[in-house]
Amino acid sequence: MDLFSFTIAGLMVYAALAVFFIGMTYRICHWFSTPKASIRLGMFPKPKTRSGRWLKMLKDTILFPQALDVDPTMWFMAIAFHVAGLLIFFGHLRLIKEFTPIVSALGSKGMDTLAFVTGGTFGIVITVVVIYYLFRRFASPYKDISVPEDYLLLILILLVITMGNHLRFFGDVHVADYRAYVQSVLLFRPSFDAALAHSSIRWSLVAHVFLANILLMYFPFSKLTHTVGAFLANLVRSD
Amino acid sequence: MADEMKVDMELDLKGLLCPLPMVRVSQNITNVPVGGILKAVATDPGSLADIPSWARSTGHEIVKQEQEGTDFIFYIKRLK
Amino acid sequence: MPGKKLETLAGVIDAKMNRQLKLYLDICARCAICRDACHQYVTTQDVRYLPAYRAELIRRIYKKYFTKTGQFVPSLYEGRDPDENLLEELYDVMYACTGCRRCMYYCPYSIDTTWIQSVGKAMLLAAGKGSEMLTQLADAAIDKGKNIDLYKDIMRDVLKTAEKEMQDKVGDKEAHFPYDKEGANVLYAALAGTHSILPAAIIFHMAKEDWTLSMFEAANYGYFLGDAAKAKEIAGRIIDEAKKLKVKEVVVSECGHAHRVFKFFYEMWAKEKLPFKVSSILDKVSEYITDGRISVDPGKIDIPVTYHDPCQVGRNYGLFEEPRAVVKEICSDFREMTPNRAKNWCCGGGGGLVAEPALEEFRKTTGKLKVDQIRDTGAKMVVSPCENCRLQLDTLNEHYKMDIEITSMIDLVVRALKT
């Protein structure tokens, strides 16, 4: 591994993960250490039981059905974004450890096809949604309420995805080589194996990892903390 | 009328409900000169307490208050 | 020292900070799904009324003063100072909001814009720029509380006419309005004016309720002003009266915000647990009918009637079905507005807007959705159990020549009451 790749795809990954986890912990602790208002100002109708409130909170957070009524396009796009994002995240777990049961069911050829089709599809879906998000921000009234953070995050996400798509659609590196890299990072000995080191798309990988690092490091300080905060805020709704 | 009170402006607040009599009086008090009299005729019984309270807390003076049938008549002197 | 003043004003955010506010300020994604939730934005298309933008005004100060990234790179969040320009914008936006919380209903994170705006109002008050009219109304109410002995006899005297009307209606010459009755079950907090006292008195009499009439009006302009100290003092007049008389229950008239103040806010402001129950007259009416303590003529009214869910009664208190059941029993041709219940459009008059003459045109414009909703039902009568809504509906009725009758729930019940 050359020094530049080692810095970005090695050292920086640790820094990014550290900032992300410490930052999120700090953020969440900060929320919990701030006293609740001594008033229950939930919105009706609300469930009467505690478990009912939690179920409604989960429904409001995961499906936000009310938004479907008032802005179906945005609802659909938001669902598509989050579902695609989650599946892409899970797909990446294959780089830590192969999903052996699926491989034994489909065979290794079948597994590759599945990964290519799902990864490819969701990679495209999420690209389309992010481009929609971005264009929406340029139109009134959305541009009037948007701040640079909004554009910055969307552009970052778009770049991460674009690099990812580039690796998937134009890359000549097999999953085993990526897994070797990820595992080397996990073992604190970051390295590229020969196939990756000599591949033409190595720079795309470094760029992909670099941008993802930036995104991770900014995450705890951005509105992306809604990934956790939305659950808490929606619980207040049913309080 | 027995006494010769010079009324600078008259307000008809009949039929208006709280808080509107107070709101209209407050809005129009600046339309009479300082030292001038705003006459307000209201039918809302709430105004019997509201308008004097408003006058006291804003620093104006009710110089006379009377009742004619269901009408409550206030003579409010602008003091500032 | 303007720099010092800016920090002092920003400090209001810190003083009002709590978990939910922090969440609201941290997580809004500015997706603007709330866009079509606000009747003021929908009817004016003015971005200042878009709920996310209203909240953004406070958020930009918060980001600049209270977040590390915002202190470091304020431009990333368009961080702002609470300067003259911003305060002016805050005034226009915060005092225009009716507090209906329809935006909260649709928000994927349930962000309560009114909660954020209460910080904005506190900031305006700290800068000495609170609403002049609402301040005067709040101060008048406080003054009345201090000088109640001056008015007691006058009020009782003037209510004699109404008392007589009650006697005629219930056919009992001995029926009186009870005042200062110690140990009564119910202390009724009405509004100024007989329209909220007489029908309630008839209902209480027929239900054989052991009640007493409060000397104070329930309305609370300190709450609309955003001044918790004044609001507490205004509500405190009735709270103290209830404690002194040792009543079991305070029943609040058909006034959405007043009921909400007693039911939810007072305990937070006063940091005490109230020794009596608080309910709305709507709760009582529905309870009396269910328990057979009063009865109404089914189908007494046969013209088409619709019901307007006041925000503070529906979304913010949870009475959807009970008032409907009463209306449906009395009116044979009941028609539902679309949308209704939790999704109902605000009438456009809440939040103390009816008391702001400067906002009258604005109320007419932003009430258009309500006008269309009512017209679509073909109803000739609208029942709405909130004084603010009714004042606004009166304005709309006249302005849009709707030719409808607007009535309170207790008036409707008295019309159909079997005596």
C244: which 2 tokens?
A: 């002194």
Q: Look up the domain containing B43 and give its range.
A: 9-77
Nearest to B45 among C144, C158, C354 (CB): C158
Residues of chain B whose C-beta is under 8 A from some C-beta in C? 17-20, 22-24, 26-27, 44-50, 52-54, 56-58, 70
Backbone angles phi, psi at C412, to 5 degrees: -60, -45
Q: Give the distance between the most distant pair of CA atoms in chain B.
A: 32
- Looking at chain C, which residue has its C-alpha nearest residue B58? C136
Task: Give SS3 for C136.
Answer: helix
Positions of B marked catalytic? 18
Res C238: pLDDT: 98
Res B2: pLDDT: 47
Task: Give SS3 for C188.
Answer: strand
Task: Give SS3 for C416.
Answer: helix
Contacts with C35 from chain A: Cβ below 8 Å: 71, 141
For residue A48, what are the contacts with CB-CB under 8 A and spacing of at least 6?
none
| Contact indicator for C185, C193 with CB cutoff of 8 Å | no
Which residue ranges form the domains of chain C, and what is each CATH number?
A: 2-129 (1.10.1060), 133-290 (no CATH), 305-416 (3.40.50)
Tell whether C115 is within 8 A of chain A (Cβ). yes
- Across all residues in chain A, what is the average pLDDT? 95
Could you tell me which residues are beta bridge partners of residue B68?
Answer: B71
ipTM comes to 0.95
Tell whether C20 is within 8 A of chain A (Cβ). yes
Question: In chain C, how many H helices and how many E strands?
Answer: 22, 8
- Looking at chain C, which residue has its C-alpha nearest residue A151? C76
Report d(CA B21, CA B41) in Å as an integer. Answer: 9
Lowest-confidence pick of C1-5, C31-35, C216-220, C285-289: C1-5
Percent of chain A whose pLDDT exceeds 90? 94
- Across all residues in chain C, what is the average pLDDT? 96
A75: which 2 tokens?
A: 């609802």
Kindly tell me if the per-residue pLDDT of A32 is higher than 90.
Answer: yes
Confirm whether B1 is domain-assigned. Answer: no
Confirm whether B3 is domain-assigned. Answer: no
Written as one letter, the residue type at A103 is V
Short-list C384, C379, C378, C380, CA closest to C346: C384
> For chain B, what's the residue count?
80
pLDDT tens-digit readout, C295-336: 999 999 999 999 999 999 999 999 999 999 999 999 999 999
pLDDT tens-digit readout, C267-303: 999 999 999 999 999 999 999 999 999 999 999 999 9
Nearest to A233 among C27, C37, C105 (CB): C27
Tell whether C61 is within 8 A of chain A (Cβ). no
Backbone angles phi, psi at C124, to 5 degrees: -60, -40
Q: Where are the beta strands (DSSP E) in C101-216?
A: 186-189, 211-213
Is the CB of C191 less than 8 angstroms away from the CB of B20?
no
B57-70 in b/e form (b: 16+ CB < 10 A) is bbebeeeeeeeeee
Contacts with C69 from chain A: Cβ below 8 Å: 221-222
Report d(CA B22, CA B18) in Å as an integer. Answer: 7
Short-list A182, A93, A90, A165, CA closest to A128: A165
Question: From the CA of C193, how many Å to the nearest CA of chain A?
Answer: 30
pLDDT tens-digit readout, A73-85: 999 999 999 999 9
Which residue ranges form the domains of chain A, and what is each CATH number?
A: 3-34+68-237 (1.20.950.20)
pLDDT tens-digit readout, C110-155: 999 999 999 999 999 999 999 999 999 999 999 999 999 999 998 8
What is the arithmetic mean of pLDDT over C186-214?
96
C234: which 2 tokens?
A: 């205004």
Residue A49 DSSP one-character state: S
Confirm whether B59 is domain-assigned. Answer: yes
Instruction: Quickly list DSSP for C242-301.
Output: HHHHT-SEEEE-S-HHHHHIIIIIHHHHHTS--SSEEEEHHHHHHHHHHTTSS-B-TT-B
What is the arithmetic mean of pLDDT over A14-34?
98
Confirm whether B27 is domain-assigned. Answer: yes
C abuts A (3+ Cβ pairs < 8 Å): yes
Report d(CA C374, CA C208) in Å as an integer. Answer: 36
| Contact indicator for C419, C207 with CB cutoff of 8 Å | no
Confirm whether B26 is domain-assigned. Answer: yes
C396: which 2 tokens?
A: 């709309």
Strands C277-280 and C249-252: parallel
Res C3: pLDDT: 67
pLDDT tens-digit readout, A122-151: 999 999 999 999 999 999 999 999 999 999
Sign, Cα dihedral of A201, A207, A212, A217: positive
Lowest-confidence pick of A24-28, B18-22, C317-321: B18-22
What is the arithmetic mean of pLDDT over C327-350?
97
What is the arithmetic mean of pLDDT over C397-406?
98
Contacts with C191 from chain B: Cβ below 8 Å: 17-18, 46
Written as one letter, the residue type at C255 is C
Could you tell me which residues are beta bridge partners of residue C251?
Answer: C188, C279
Confirm whether B22 is domain-assigned. Answer: yes
Q: Give the CATH number, domain containing residue B14.
A: 3.30.110.40
Percent of chain C whose pLDDT exceeds 70? 99
Instruction: Give me the total of CB pairs closer than 8 Å, taking one residue from chain A and one from chain C.
Output: 153
pLDDT tens-digit readout, C205-230: 999 999 999 999 999 999 999 999 99
Confirm whether B62 is domain-assigned. Answer: yes
Short-list C396, C228, C138, C361, CA closest to B26: C138
Res B3: pLDDT: 57
How many structural domains are present in chain B?
Answer: 1
Residue with tokens 């600078």: B8
Res B70: pLDDT: 87
A168-191 in b/e form (b: 16+ CB < 10 A) is eeebebeeebbbbbbebbeeeebb
Contacts with B57 from chain C: Cβ below 8 Å: 136, 139-140, 142-143
Confirm whether B39 is domain-assigned. Answer: yes
Report d(CA C262, CA C253) in Å as an integer. Answer: 11
**Cis check: omega of the bond before B52, within 30 degrees of 0:** no
- Across all residues in chain B, what is the average pLDDT? 91
B46: which 2 tokens?
A: 């709430």
Res B4: pLDDT: 66
Residue C419 DSSP one-character state: -
Task: Give SS3 for B66.
Answer: strand
Strands C305-307 and C277-280: unpaired
